[in-house]
Amino acid sequence: MTSFEPGAQASIASITDKVRPVAIGAPVTAVHFLGDRAFFVGAEEGVSIVDAEGAVSTVEVLSGGILCAASNGERIVMGGDDGRVVALDKKGEIAVLVTDAKRRWIDAVALHADGAVAWSIGKTAFVRSGKGEEKSLEVPSTVGGLAFAPKGLRLAVAHYNGATLWFPNMAATAEFLAWAGSHLGVIFSPDNKFLVTAMHEPALHGWRLADNRHMRMSGYPGRVKSMSWSAGGKFLATSGADTVIMWPFASKDGPMGKEPAMLAPLQARVSVVACHPKQDILAAGYSDGTILMVRMEDGGELLVRRNGTAPVAALGWNAKGTVLAFSDEEGGAGLLAI
Amino acid sequence: MSQSTSQKIPVTVLTGYLGAGKTTLLNRILSENHGKKYAVIVNEFGEIGIDNDLIIGADEEVFEMNNGCICCTVRGDLVRIMDGLMRRKGKFDAIIVETTGLADPAPVAQTFFVDEDVQKNARLDAVVTVADAKWLSDRLKDAPEAKNQIAFADVIVLNKTDLVSKPELAEVEARIRGINPYAQLHRTERCKVALSDVLERGAFDLDRILEIEPDFLEADEHDHDHHHHDGHDHHHHDHGHGLKHYHDEEMQSLALRTDKPLDPTKFMPWLQNLVATEGQNILRSKGILAFHDDDDRYVFQGVHMMLEGDHQRKWKEGEPRESRVVFIGRELPEQAIRDGFERCIVS
């Protein structure tokens, strides 16, 4: 992949002085906006809510590690190592959705736009519809990831040797998409045409859902832990390399037979990506703490945050795309209003 | 950002055949007043008699890596659990992974060799095998898992010694030594063993590969240091102290040694080729090497096909520049390995 050019960082325009620094004071794993406040999900116990002025208030949501979190813009749902699934709303109010009697880990959660919630414990995936009906599905091995399809109540469950597509409200058996290896993260394309998994090995795997055709997306030096669709779903931006890897999904064949675009090369691994909700720009966080704003069209870069800290762990845009929130693994956070 | 070895959380793998006393040892470790906090990954929930919010149930899910290496299996559940545990970094000092009685320790160990994220935060400390003094000899005959666990071990806790006579104990120890003369062996009743003998061993730490010597200290407690330096076939050696020696038909250790320098351009390809072709049968390997025209000691270790090695330190003045290599494995082609090793010596 593209090599690092010394001095590249110094030559790009900096907007670091526009960032409002925020001290979370505890490790952060994700950030989501609910309304105009940024919710920084901690590694354990708490969520720090930061308003536009940078004032921080913290709510305790779980009594142990927060293993997974998902947001639909209305709520954030989190699963913990204390066997609980909780939801946090815009006002900062907590609802306990699930309490596992055996305190088993909640390994994955997903949240549908219509309010349906999914979570997994070991090999079992559970779905609770917006109306409160609960159903479960057992897959052959521990669930690696969950994702709701953008349309209808359909859940993708990633596990060993493939992914399972399940309509919880239909009697038909779940559909199994096979591909050898361990599948961890899973994501539908916004147009509902493709399913992509992040594997244990440094690669993505994809299926075109119309005919289950395989798409192999490999070549990464490290495992892909962050995936983000560009506005309209033209590109899938991913972490895992020392540039942002952008797979083209605009055509009906997706990335089949095409090379990915490589943006924003640095001498550090991309750890998180977050595409702007409306425009063709993205934010990329790196393992050395750098954050860049990148224009997809020509790769133009703006420096949001300098290097020299813990890896960037979280990036999130508000719904309008006017504020970017970020944090490194140790809770060194900030807000950037554009 | 990788942490230095000392900051990484040590992981002890606890194995042992069904009923040998793993849970007893685990309860002992957790209940002793050591001021440390352990995260424990267990398979049978509920057998631990200690309240600990960091006891995690695992499923022993093994999968093959898609890298064309058939014995390259890892524990996917461990990858996931380690990731989750890292959310609570700072809340515990060490991790203990208990395997089921029928488990092969290799996938656990390999997880720490191949997974970048696991490696970043944690290091394999040692494989500790609990063995039942009364039944191990039988299990070595009928249970390949039991033999694997002995062969793989860095530390063997030979438990329930109060249930056997002295000759029976000598026999079972000899059978263990026939398979693995290098593990440290501790005789116990109800797993009463000093925690420092099973934890923080650094058995996989390249910097702590100081010597590769058979562990006979427990077998006959008087001084017989000379045995360690007098020949290639020390493990077939009759000590003359009434200690029996068994040669296990299937699983053996093979020790190579030379005081002549090795040619790194021959040795490294030979070793890599050996583990690539025989890696399924080689459970563990370890070596201290003196290369031609190199003032640094080179050390390596491996699990099946996975090897890691590095220059360790300068040879000390007066220290004999001797190369030693040990393999523990199943049906090893001994003569071919010896011949291959000989060809790596600078002539």
The CATH fold assigned to A8-337 is Methylamine Dehydrogenase; Chain H (2.130.10)
Note whether A262 and A273 are within 8 A (CB): no
Whole-number pLDDT of residue B206: 80
Query: Rounded distance, CA B311 to CA B297, Å?
Result: 6
Q: Is A161 an 8 Å CB contact of chain B?
A: yes
Look up residue B232 and give its two tokens.
């290639």
Query: Rounded distance, CA B347 to CA B345, Å?
Result: 6
The confidence band for B244, taking pLDDT boundaries of 50, 70 and 90, is low
Terminal C-alpha separation, chain A? 31
DSSP state of B22: H
pLDDT tens per residue, range A145-169: 999 999 889 999 999 999 999 999 9
Asked if residue A315 has pLDDT above 60, the reply is yes
Nearest C-alpha neighbor of B272 from the set B308, B296, B298, B297: B308
Give the DSSP per-residue string, A21-85: EEE--S-EEEEEEETTEEEEEESEEEEEEE-TT--EEEEEEEEEEEEEEEE-SSEEEEEETTSEE
Q: Is B67 an 8 Å CB contact of chain A?
A: yes
Inter-chain touch A201–B67, beta carbons under 8 Å: yes
Asked if residue B219 has pLDDT above 50, the reply is no
Q: Mean pLDDT across chain A, nearest whole number? A: 94
The count of CB pairs under 8 A between chains A and B is 74
Biggest alpha carbon–alpha carbon distance for chain A: 60
Give the ipTM of the model, two decimals please.
0.88
Give mean pLDDT, residues B328-339.
95
Asked if residue B237 has pLDDT above 70, the reply is no
Interior/surface letters A117-155, b for 16+ CB within 10 angstroms, e for the rest: bbbbbbbebbbbbeeeeeeebebebbbbbbbbbeeebbb
Any idea which of A66-70, A220-224, A299-303, B208-212 has the lowest mean pLDDT? B208-212
**Nearest-CB residue to A107 (from B61, B66, B80):** B80
Give mean pLDDT, residues A193-200.
96
Residue B292 phi/psi, 5-degree rounding, is -60, 135
Percent of chain A whose predicted confidence (pLDDT) is above 70: 97
Whole-number pLDDT of residue B217: 42
C-beta atoms surrounding B32 within 10 Å: 11
Nearest C-alpha neighbor of B158 from the set A326, B210, B180, B144: B180
Contacts with A, B 117-146, CB within 8 Å:
117
**Nearest-CB residue to B116 (from A123, A223, A288):** A223
Whole-number pLDDT of residue B233: 41
Domains identified in chain B and CATH numbers: 5-208 (3.40.50.300), 249-342 (3.30.1220.10)
Whole-number pLDDT of residue B222: 37
Q: Closest residue of A to B84, CA-based?
A: A67
Q: Is A107 an 8 Å CB contact of chain B?
A: yes
Query: Rounded distance, CA B197 to CA B176, Å?
Result: 18
Contacts with B, A 278-337, CB within 8 Å:
287-288, 310-311
C-beta atoms surrounding A13 within 10 Å: 9
Whole-number pLDDT of residue B46: 60
Best probe of the A interface among B45, B59, B88, B114, by most A CBs < 10 A, is B88
Q: Is A144 an 8 Å CB contact of chain B?
A: yes
Q: Which residues in chain B have their CB less than 8 angstroms from residue A161's CB?
A: 63
Contacts with B, A 218-257, CB within 8 Å:
222-223
Whole-number pLDDT of residue B228: 39
Q: Closest residue of B to A123, CA-based?
A: B59
Inter-chain touch A201–B76, beta carbons under 8 Å: no
Its pTM stands at 0.88
pLDDT tens per residue, range B17-70: 988 999 999 999 988 888 889 999 998 666 666 666 688 888 888 888 766 666
Mutual angle of helices B264-278 and B334-342, in 10-degree steps: 160
Asked if residue B124 has pLDDT above 90, the reply is yes
Burial class (CB in 10 A: 0-12, 13-18, 19+), B200: middle
Q: Is A29 an 8 Å CB contact of chain B?
A: yes
The confidence band for A3, taking pLDDT boundaries of 50, 70 and 90, is very low
Q: Closest residue of B to A46, CA-based?
A: B87
Q: Which residues in chain A have their CB less than 8 angstroms from residue B45's CB?
A: 102
Note whether B84 and B44 are within 8 A (CB): no
Which has more pLDDT, B238 or B193? B193
pLDDT tens per residue, range A288-303: 999 999 999 999 999 9
Asked if residue A143 has pLDDT above 60, the reply is yes
Q: Is A201 an 8 Å CB contact of chain B?
A: yes
Q: Is B89 an 8 Å CB contact of chain A?
A: yes
pLDDT tens per residue, range A210-226: 999 999 999 999 999 99
Query: Rounded distance, CA A249 to CA A254, Å?
Result: 4
The confidence band for B211, taking pLDDT boundaries of 50, 70 and 90, is low
Inter-chain touch B87–A105, beta carbons under 8 Å: no
The confidence band for B191, taking pLDDT boundaries of 50, 70 and 90, is very high
Query: Rounded distance, CA B74 to CA B63, Å?
Result: 6
In whole angstroms, what separates CA A246 from the centre of its chain?
Answer: 15
DSSP, collapsed to helix, strand or coil, labels residue B82 as helix
Percentage helix, strand, coil for chain B under 3-state DSSP, each rounded to 5: 35, 25, 40
Query: Rounded distance, CA A112 to CA A213, Å?
Result: 26
